[in-house]
């Protein structure tokens, strides 16, 4: 594949604190992407090194810059209009003997919290120590607090993520016991440490950027690639310098195979590798010029977005984004930037409906680009089809399961059921779970979204899980007494229109202290040791408790 140079025209529009550029782009390898009506560019002219950008829940963006004293946080709308700019100064402890250096050149992180506020992480060096700290804001970017998460002899922040439970996971390269190690620390929502683990660090391995996997675990790339479960326990580790060489990017796909992205000479290479180190697919893109890989992101639908920079005679010339599908086939290869500016891509941010954004620097300023795809012209020989779910919303209660149906409909009114061929993802799996056949099961009351995909189309539907109207939930006793080793059956009932209904086999059960008593999925209670505990039984989200005494 030979890459050709695009044509650009720029129009600068001054706005408060920033400059907004309208962009006309001719894509080299994607005629379905059109010009200025389908994208915009925003350049930050506030002082500070561009660090990170995030796509916010309201459809806009937040961008982070850093100086040697403070952070600058900028919030935009979905159309690139500036909503506010905040200057945030971390409140770090002072030391009369040693000067503290705020490391604006080190890695920083920006995340949107579950409550709509923002969490910024940075690095502070003083004497021979490195502190990793966290700054929190409200939804309007107003400063709330600074908290030091970890103090180490020396170190470099690699990754910081917000986890599904509202807590945080931090990965850093640190000096420990006279050696370099990768440190992983898990914190609760208040920033208190829950667990930590340490792993060998080798600069000859892949970049150690931590990934939160779709099963709630963590993958730590490096010379040895390690997978942890949600509690920090090691599940596996593997090392193969030939498949995962120095400088490559490694992420875990939803099928638990690994994807490796690297540059060899003038070739961009991506491979999917199974757990036995067998290469499932490999895609090589011959660029004919020097390129770098700066960011790799995997979408819920399985598309792989790779972003980087194009170099000419050791000088920065351009940016690119390439999209690969789940089977490794190439989607789009796009140029960004060029002309009289010096753009450097740092991030690629996949968005819904095949849109994406990139963030980096332009002549030293923060530089955000958003691209919106334009649908191709209909082909009369191949009628346009539309993907639909059988409902725009689903309602259920905890414990209930519903079947969804995914349908392709053409312009002539013909339809085809593609449910078994679709792919399904839930935004919040603590509310609803979905299986490979598209069956959804309510877990707890709440609201979330189902994403269903088939080929290159994705549709969504809202899911509402309501608190059930369960009347008269009762166990057959308020107190159970047993001797060690004894077992007894419990009975769980509700009241309905016909009287009393036994729901024992449909309930869920747990005990507060398994060293005293345990209970199985059918409500059978077994005494283990002397003491007291509590049996909890639940049905459709409603709980009831009883005392258990083991004499």
User: pLDDT, tens digit, for every residue of 315-367?
Assistant: 666 788 999 988 888 777 777 655 445 678 899 999 988 889 999 987 778 88
pLDDT at 164 over 50: yes
Mean predicted lDDT score pLDDT of the chain: 82
| Cβ contacts of 141 within 8 Å, gap of 6 or more | 62, 73, 75, 84, 86, 88, 118
| Cβ contacts of 396 within 8 Å, gap of 6 or more | 402, 440, 442, 463, 464, 465, 466
Helix (H) or strand (E) holding 236: strand 234-238
d(CA 206, CA 199): 14
- Strand pairing of 82-88 and 315-324? unpaired
Please give the pLDDT value at position 3.
34
Nearest of 11, 86, 43, 22 to residue 359 by alpha carbon: 43
Tokens of 473: 């939930």
pLDDT at 459 over 80: yes
Domains of the chain, earliest start first: 385-465 (2.60.40.1080), 474-550 (2.60.40.1080)
What is the pLDDT averaged over residues 212-219? Answer: 88
pLDDT at 500 over 50: yes
Place of tokens 């942890």: 228
Taking the whole predicted model, whether its pTM rises above 0.85 is answered as no
pLDDT at 237 over 90: no
Tokens of 413: 């009114």
């Amino acid at each position: 594949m030979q890459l050709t140079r695009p044509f650009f025209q720029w129009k600068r529009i001054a706005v408060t604190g920033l400059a907004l550029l309208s962009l006309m782009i001719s894509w080299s390898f994607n005629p379905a992407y059109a010009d200025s009506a389908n994208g915009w560019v925003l350049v930050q002219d506030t002082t500070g090194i561009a660090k990170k950008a995030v796509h916010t829940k309201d459809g806009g963006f937040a961008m982070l810059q850093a100086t040697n004293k403070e952070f600058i946080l900028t919030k935009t709308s979905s159309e690139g209009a500036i909503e506010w700019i905040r200057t945030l100064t971390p409140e770090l402890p002072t030391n009369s003997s040693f000067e503290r250096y705020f490391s604006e050149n080190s890695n920083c992180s920006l995340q949107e919290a579950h409550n709509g506020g923002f969490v910024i992480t940075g690095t502070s060096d003083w004497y021979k120590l490195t502190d990793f700290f966290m700054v929190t804001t409200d939804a309007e970017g107003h400063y709330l607090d600074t908290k030091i998460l970890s103090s180490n002899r020396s170190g470099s922040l690699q990754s910081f993520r917000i986890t599904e439970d509202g807590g945080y996971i931090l990965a850093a390269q640190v000096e420990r016991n006279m050696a370099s190690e990768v440190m992983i620390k898990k914190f609760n929502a208040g920033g208190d440490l829950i667990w930590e683990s340490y792993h060998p660090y080798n600069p000859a391995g892949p970049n150690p950027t931590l990934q939160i996997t779709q099963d709630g675990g963590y993958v730590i790339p490096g010379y040895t690639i390690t997978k942890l479960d949600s509690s920090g326990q090691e599940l596996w580790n593997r090392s193969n310098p030939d498949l995962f060489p120095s400088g490559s990017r490694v992420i875990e796909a939803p099928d638990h195979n690994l994807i490796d992205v690297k540059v060899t000479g003038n070739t961009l290479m991506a491979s999917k590798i199974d757990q036995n180190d067998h290469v499932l697919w490999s895609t090589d893109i011959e660029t004919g010029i020097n390129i770098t890989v700066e960011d790799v992101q995997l979408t819920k639908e399985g598309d792989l977005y790779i972003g980087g920079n194009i170099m000419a005679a050791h000088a920065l010339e351009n940016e690119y984004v390439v999209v690969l599908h789940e089977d490794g086939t190439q989607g789009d290869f796009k140029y960004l930037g060029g002309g009289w500016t010096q753009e450097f891509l740092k991030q690629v941010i996949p968005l819904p409906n095949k849109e994406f954004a990139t963030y980096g620097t332009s002549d030293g300023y923060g530089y955000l680009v958003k691209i919106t795809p334009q649908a191709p012209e209909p082909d009369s020989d191949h009628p346009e089809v539309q993907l639909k779910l059988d409902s725009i919303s689903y309602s259920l209660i905890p414990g209930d399961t519903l079947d969804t149906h995914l349908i392709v409909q053409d312009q002539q009114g013909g339809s085809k059921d593609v449910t078994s061929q679709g792919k399904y993802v839930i935004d919040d799996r603590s509310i609803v779970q979905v299986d490979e056949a598209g069956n959804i099961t309510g877990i707890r009351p709440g609201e979330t979204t189902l994403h269903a995909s088939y080929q290159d189309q994705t549709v969504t539907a809202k899911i509402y899980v309501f608190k059930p109207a369960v009347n008269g939930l009762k166990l057959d006793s308020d107190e159970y007494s047993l001797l060690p080793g004894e077992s007894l059956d419990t009975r769980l009932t509700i009241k309905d229109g016909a009287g009393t209904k036994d729901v024992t086999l449909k309930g869920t059960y747990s005990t507060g202290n398994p060293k005293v008593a345990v209970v199985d999925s059918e409500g059978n209670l077994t005494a283990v040791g002397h003491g007291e505990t509590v049996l909890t039984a639940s049905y459709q989200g409603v709980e009831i408790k009883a005392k258990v005494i083991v004499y």
